[in-house]
Amino acid sequence: MTEQIERESGGIRTVEVPRSAASPRVWKFGDDIDTDAIIPGRFLTINDPAELARHAFEGTRDEFAQSVLPGDVVVGGRNFGMGSSREHAPLALKGAGIRYIVAESFARIFYRNAINIGLLPLTTPSTDGFADGAEIAVDPSGGRVTVDGKEFPVEPVPEFLQRIADAGGLIEYARIVGEVETCSTTSR
Amino acid sequence: MAPVDAAMIHDITGPLAIRTFLEMGGERVFDPARVVMLFDHQVPADSIPAAENQAIMRRFAAEQGILNYDLREGVCHQVVLEKGRAAPGEIVIGSDSHTCMYGAVGAFATGVGSTDMGFALRFGALYFRVPETVRATVTGAFPERVGPKDLILSIIGDIGADGATYRAVEFCGEAVSSMGMAGRMTLCNMAIEMGAKAGIVPPDETTWDYVRARRPDIEPFPLASDPGADLADSRTYDVGEFEPQVAVPHNVDNVVPVSRVAGTHVDQVFIGSCTNGRYEDLAEAASVLGDGQFSDRVRVIVIPASRDEYLKALRAGLIERFVEAGALVEAPCCGPCMGGAFGLIAPGEVSLSTSNRNFRGRQGSAEGLVYLASAATAAASAVRGEITDPREV
């Protein structure tokens, strides 16, 4: 899509503009998508989400970083985000404007990391019907996603994690709680 | 929320953890004596951004009074155990997925991201879901040139890359209790490769000897596996009939006996990492090498997991042997397993590695191939220039 915009200097030019947020699309991935694929090790000195986003899936799916748009939804199969604890992986997706990741299951550390930085990882029994590039609408509170007009159920995140998600992430949650109460451990 | 006994950060995930700690309003870490800091992924700094990240961490350590091992000691997980920073029954977190290795000393240890770590640095606690348990009971005695790496690859191949997600994997049975600490570390290190939250070996005399040598103040206490536990899954393995195992590209659970891939050309062999960079691994590799030479067609990179392991290998003459045979011996660090610092592979090249991940692009080009195996298989393959059963060399 192109549109004419007025430059600050007063001239007129034609530029690519993002599709509207009302038409997010599916970026479909398979099973066992690992964190090295999401962000390769050689980019881990980068801590800025927007800069990380420029290298998301580099080498395994280069067109993602080139044409992902804010609001798009990453869809995976089983065990999405397996591997490293590198928070750079969900941060790269966040930097690309991703808000939701829908998969059949998630690797544990990635799942926590996503919640902690304000992304919402949602599970659904099967993503077979989610075509790459399809239009998608995510309604987490309604427990469903709509892909090309067809509805699929998504499971809610556990209640405690939902509180962190509602706060906007663990940093915001920590600011709200101020102090934490711990359970006792009985090992010693 | 559960209190954490120790928290480990390194040069890759540490800067983000410090940032989140500060963004949470953190001023002083919960207890500087319980924070372990070191650099191992990109050491000595291989780029200006890496140097900057390490400088941020050094400043933080100085401000907070944290003992920073910096780049002197080696790979984080090996160092945490060597320095006695994890012990039976303790809860230890690290901002690295292979933190589950500390289960080798009977700790509950798990890898977390940087925001979790920032939270733990601030509050000394973290939220956890209590994991269900998968028990792997291992019987029999290992045949010659077959060992803990072959066992854990077999278990991962059996359970699958997500077969233990959110669960703790308990390793027990005579083949585990007769194993030294190095082998137990190899087992627990790779629990994450089946999605596990933690791996654990029930503490016994071997464990307590290791821990008490580092933490003489701790009195041994009983901490045993519960025979009546309600298990999510239970598997048994007999290693007596095992042959060496190899994980083939591009997933760790693509495990086959070495005979299935023997003869595959290799361009680079890496012997090292938190998984298999200990003296025992280097000694096994040297034993396979004998008086021979590594193939001229192979780049052989040997990296001891820590300064202590390096010194042990040096004093035993292993380092000299590797250098004579044509290997590059590097100072303790993550090396090619990091996939960013050095030792990267080109498109189409094949790496055989004793490390823990063979994901596409893990050691450089996404068009390269990474195989995982034991130090014995790695050494045999480095001698022949192709994947080789170590019993044939």
CATH 3.90.550.10, applies to B2-126: no
Domain membership of residue A91 as a residue range: 22-177
The CATH number that domain B245-392 falls under is: 3.30.499.10
Between B266 and B225, name the one with better pLDDT.
B266
Q: Do A86 and B88 touch (CB under 8 A)?
A: no
Q: Which H or E run includes B350?
A: strand B350-353
Interface mutation vs chain A, best among B16, B108, B359, most A CBs within 10 Å: B359
Q: How far is CA A80 from the centre of its chain?
A: 11
Contact B101, B109 (CB under 8 A): yes
Which of the four CATH numbers 3.40.1060.10, 3.40.50.150, 3.30.980.10, 2.60.40.420 does domain B133-218+231-241 have?
3.40.1060.10
Asked if B162 is an interface residue toward chain A (Cβ–Cβ < 8 A), one would say yes
Is B245-392 in the same CATH topology as B133-218+231-241? no
Cβ proximity of A33 and B332 under 8 Å: no
Q: Is B91 on the interface with A (CB under 8 A)?
A: yes
CB pair distance less than 8 Å for A85 and B49: no
CA–CA separation, B193 and B161 (whole Å): 6
B30-82 per-position pLDDT tens digit: 999 999 999 999 999 999 999 999 999 999 999 999 999 999 999 999 999 99
Q: How many domains does chain A have?
A: 1
The pairing of strands A144-147 and A150-153 is antiparallel
Chain B contacts of A109, Cβ < 8 Å? 97, 111-113
Supply the DSSP string of A45-98, one letter for each residue. T---HHHHHTTTTTTT-THHHHH--TT-EEE--SSBTBS---THHHHHHHHTT-
Domains in chain B: boundaries: 2-126, 133-218+231-241, 245-392
Q: CB distance B89–A83 less than 8 Å?
A: no
> CA-to-CA distance for B390 and B374, rounded, in angstroms?
9
- Residue B108 is predicted with a pLDDT of 98
Average pLDDT over every residue of B128-153: 97
Contact A40, A65 (CB under 8 A): no
The tokens for A77 are 């199969």
Radius of gyration of chain A (CA): 18
Contact A116, A101 (CB under 8 A): no
Is A188 part of the contact surface with chain B (CB cutoff 8 Å)?
yes
Q: Which of A48, A86, A87 to mutate to test the interface with B (most CBs of B within 10 A)?
A: A87
Q: How far apart are CA B140 and CA B179, in angstroms?
A: 12
ipTM: 0.93
pLDDT in tens, B5-35: 999 999 999 999 999 999 999 999 999 999 9
Burial letters for A93-102: b for 16+ Cβ neighbours within 10 Å, e otherwise? Answer: bbbbbbbbbb
Question: Which residues in chain A have Cβ-Cβ distances shorter than 8 Å to B359?
Answer: 34, 36-37, 83
Return the residue in A109, A123, A161 with the most chain B beta carbons within 10 A, the one to mutate for interface testing.
Answer: A109
Contacts of A41 in chain B (CB under 8 A): 338-340, 362
Q: Please name the residues in contact with B295: beta carbons below 8 A apart, sequence gap of 6 or more.
A: B382, B383, B384, B385
Question: Average pLDDT over chain B, rounded to whole?
Answer: 97
Compute the radius of gyration of chain B from its Cα atoms.
20
B89 pLDDT above the threshold of 80? yes
- Chain A residues with beta carbon closer than 8 angstroms to that of B50: 45
- Closest-CA residue of chain B to A82: B195
Are B340 and A169 an interchain contact pair (Cβ–Cβ within 8 Å)?
no
Count Cβ–Cβ pairs < 8 Å, chain A vs chain B. 155
Q: For strands B369-372 and B108-111, give the pairing.
A: unpaired
pLDDT, one tens digit for every residue, chain A (188 residues): 334 444 434 444 444 445 555 689 999 999 999 999 999 999 999 999 999 999 999 999 999 999 999 999 999 999 999 999 999 999 999 999 999 999 999 999 999 999 999 999 999 999 999 999 999 999 999 999 999 999 999 998 899 999 999 999 999 999 988 788 887 665 44
Tokens describing residue A48: 């800025």
Does A141 or B244 have the greater pLDDT score? B244
Instruction: Supply the pLDDT for residue A139.
Output: 95
| CATH, residue A130 | 3.20.19.10
C-beta of residue B10 within 8 angstroms of C-beta of residue B111? no
Question: Cα distance from A26 to chain B (closest Cα, Å)?
Answer: 23
Contact A124/B at CB under 8 A: no
Contact A46 B88 (CB under 8 A): no
Is A92 within 8 Å of chain B by CB? no
Are A85 and B162 an interchain contact pair (Cβ–Cβ within 8 Å)? no
pLDDT for the residue A13: 46
Residue A7 falls within a domain, yes or no? no
The residue among B285, B267, B259, B245 whose CA lies nearest residue B386 is B267
Kindly report the number of other CB atoms within 10 A of residue B27's CB atom.
Answer: 9
Integer Cα distance of B136 and B138 in angstroms:
6
Q: Hey, what are B234's tokens?
A: 């239970």
Cα B53 to Cα B13: distance, rounded to the nearest angstrom: 9
Residue B339 forms contact with A (CB below 8 Å)? yes
Give the pLDDT confidence score for residue A180 in this predicted structure: 83
B211 touches chain A (CB under 8 A): no
Which residues of chain A make contact with B362, given a CB cutoff of 8 A? 36, 41
Q: Is A153 within a domain? A: yes
Pairing type for strands B6-9 and B35-37 reads: parallel
Query: Distance between CA B197 and CA B111 in Å, rounded?
Result: 8
Distance, in Å, from the CA atom of B347 to the CA atom of B366, rounded to the nearest integer, reads 7
Asked whether residue A45 is assigned to any structural domain, the reply reads yes
Interchain CB contact of A97 with B (< 8 Å): no
Residue B339 is predicted with a pLDDT of 86
Q: What is the pLDDT of residues B204-239, one digit of tens each?
A: 999 999 999 999 999 999 999 888 999 999 999 999
Residue B227's pLDDT is what? 87
Question: Is B95's Cβ below 8 Å from some Cβ in A?
Answer: yes
pLDDT for residue B183? 98
* Global pTM value: 0.93
Tokens 């995930």 belong to B13
Provide the pLDDT for residue A182.
Answer: 80
State the smallest CA–CA distance between residue A14 and chain B in angstroms. 36
Count of CB atoms within 10 A of residue B59's CB? Answer: 11
